[in-house]
Amino acid sequence: MSKKLNDQQKSNKVSESQRHKALHDAKIGKFHEALINFNKSLCHAESNTSTIALIYANRAAVYYQLNLHDKSLNNIALARECHHNADILNDLDELEEKCYENINNQLKYDDPWEYFKLSYPANKRLPFIIDCLEVKNDKKYGRYVTTTQPLNAGDILAIEEPFFKFLKVDPDDNEYPETNPYNYCANCLRDNYLDLIPCDGCLTTMFCSRKCMEEGNRMFHQYECNILDVLKETDNFRMAVRNFFVSLSICNRNIDELKRLMDESDEKNPTIFNFDLSLCENNSKDLLMAMMSLTNKTNVRVKDMSYVFQHHKLLKKLWTKEKEFINKFLERMMQVEILNFHGIKGQSLNAKSVFRKCVGDGSYAFCSLLNHSCCPNVMRIVVDNRMVLICERPIKAGEQLFDCYIGDSFYYKSKEHRQEELEDYNFTCDCLACENDYADILSGLLPVINHQIFRLAYTSYKDLQDPRKVLTVEQARMLAKKYSLILNQNFSENSYPCKELVMLQLCIVKCFLTAAFSPITFK
């Protein structure tokens, strides 16, 4: 790598000052703040110095206090691996003994994947979606997803890993602590209960494990580590530049192979349904082609990016020879991004509420095939970086799955407002809600058909809106099940949309959002 362009260098002095802040936080019981400050301190510590061992030892002690003994043991092991002064060894041995003595009393994490599971057998070639989903194509929608079997509200239809992903961090944003880079793994975007390890080179990049560190370095960080400040200037194109690095790595740095994949994607317009992703062999190239086809070629102009490519030997050479293709690739990535990138809200130990800023963006090859309706029948939520697709009202065999691209659907926004928000997608929505100009569920426009169900739906809906009534994850999961059952039993196509069915649908959405985004709980 060439000369480091970040203006700051590792410094044990800065690291020590952060460590002392963390020790103070821990002393007054602010354990989450302490862990973040220890992470910051780790990032600033000079490589191969005993300071790093000391920080891991301190972090181990905090995890011990939090009753997270496996994390404590992990940090003891990390401390021992580092260059350390002999006098911390005794402390580590003592702490280790205490952890083993108490390991059976440690807090158990609530694993969201015990709850979010596919509701039907998995597709054999695409094991992350259920086996009755298909992709079709027509003139109006382009590609679209349908089901060969009826589906019910509450069913989980897909659990998909992002293909491209990007952690959006801002160390200076104090208003939203979740945008602090010392919270999340730069590779998988998970918070790992703040048990992160620092990059040896820069001051802000952390990983959750050696495996993620190796993968992150191989896929993108080898190019980015010493130019993080330069990359900030790429503004909107930051993610496109990241995707170029990742794609180049997938092609083993062979740009001719990347060109070939782009040509093949343009020619065949493949989706993931064209591939067998159950095979253990590396299928990144298949996925990359499927991702590149997710564009309607919106007009995008890339600004001059030469400054990004001047600091790395290979990139500089590629830029001189292949500037035109690289620009074309960045444009394509931007076109894909406009249509298909989804915010990732992290789960974090220090998240205080359901509503918080996204910590990153991700793109999902399957879920991106869903078209839009302002009265959707499925919803997407990102749990722990994976996209979970949930059925929010009954769907007949043969029907298309529709997602709502604009968060709130016809329940809250006027038709004009919705169309404005859909502008980037280049189509005019003619869904049921737009055709009939439904707006605002509480207005008089929608009829009430079953008054008994309406009373139940209305009370439940109002209860869920009440900010004083905060649901636990467990309660939200139970209620999602309850409302799904009532909706499934009372749904009739002839009466939808009516107030009570739409309200029940909204209750289900709200419960799933709460179940996914509530602060992490322990059993």
Ligand X SMILES: C[S@@+](CC[C@H](N)C(=O)[O-])C[C@H]1O[C@@H](n2cnc3c(N)ncnc32)[C@H](O)[C@@H]1O
The binding site for ligand X (CB under 6 A) comprises: 140-144, 294, 296, 339-340, 368-369, 371-373, 425-427, 429
Closer by beta carbon to ligand X, 277 or else 318: 277
* CA-based R_g, the chain, Å: 25
Closest CB to ligand X: residue number: 142
Contact between 242 and 216 under an 8 Å Cβ cutoff? The reply is: no
Closer by beta carbon to ligand X, 108 or else 139: 139
**343-381 exposure pattern, b = at least 16 Cβ within 10 A, e = fewer:** ebbbbbbbbeebebebbbbbbbbbbbbbbbbbbbbbbbb
Least distance in Å: CB of 266 to ligand X? Answer: 13
Least distance in Å: CB of 296 to ligand X? Answer: 5
Closer by beta carbon to ligand X, 145 or else 206: 145
Least distance in Å: CB of 140 to ligand X? Answer: 6
What H or E segment, with its residue span, contains residue 338?
Answer: helix 313-340
Least distance in Å: CB of 295 to ligand X? Answer: 8
Closer by beta carbon to ligand X, 169 or else 294: 294
Contact between 339 and 310 under an 8 Å Cβ cutoff? The reply is: no
What is the DSSP-derived secondary structure letter of residue 217?
I
Least distance in Å: CB of 366 to ligand X? Answer: 11
Nearest Cα neighbor of 58 from 81, 44, 42, 43 is 42
Least distance in Å: CB of 345 to ligand X? Answer: 20
Closer by beta carbon to ligand X, 158 or else 369: 369
Least distance in Å: CB of 517 to ligand X? Answer: 23
Q: What 3 state SS string does 273-314 have?
A: HHCCCCCCCCCHHHHHHHHHCCCCCCCCCCCCCHHHHHCCHH
Q: Count CA atoms within 13 Å of residue 1 on its CB side.
A: 13
Joined together, the tokens standing for residue 466 give: 């009440």
What span, in angstroms and rounded, lies between the C-alpha atoms of 6 and 364?
A: 32
Least distance in Å: CB of 97 to ligand X? Answer: 55
Closer by beta carbon to ligand X, 312 or else 342: 342
Closer by beta carbon to ligand X, 384 or else 403: 403
Closer by beta carbon to ligand X, 107 or else 406: 406
What span, in angstroms and rounded, lies between the C-alpha atoms of 97 and 119?
A: 43
What span, in angstroms and rounded, lies between the C-alpha atoms of 401 and 378?
A: 7
What span, in angstroms and rounded, lies between the C-alpha atoms of 399 and 44?
A: 55
What span, in angstroms and rounded, lies between the C-alpha atoms of 309 and 312?
A: 7
Closer by beta carbon to ligand X, 245 or else 275: 275
What is the DSSP-derived secondary structure letter of residue 359?
-
Least distance in Å: CB of 338 to ligand X? Answer: 8
Joined together, the tokens standing for residue 75 give: 């940090």
Nearest Cα neighbor of 473 from 411, 406, 519 is 519
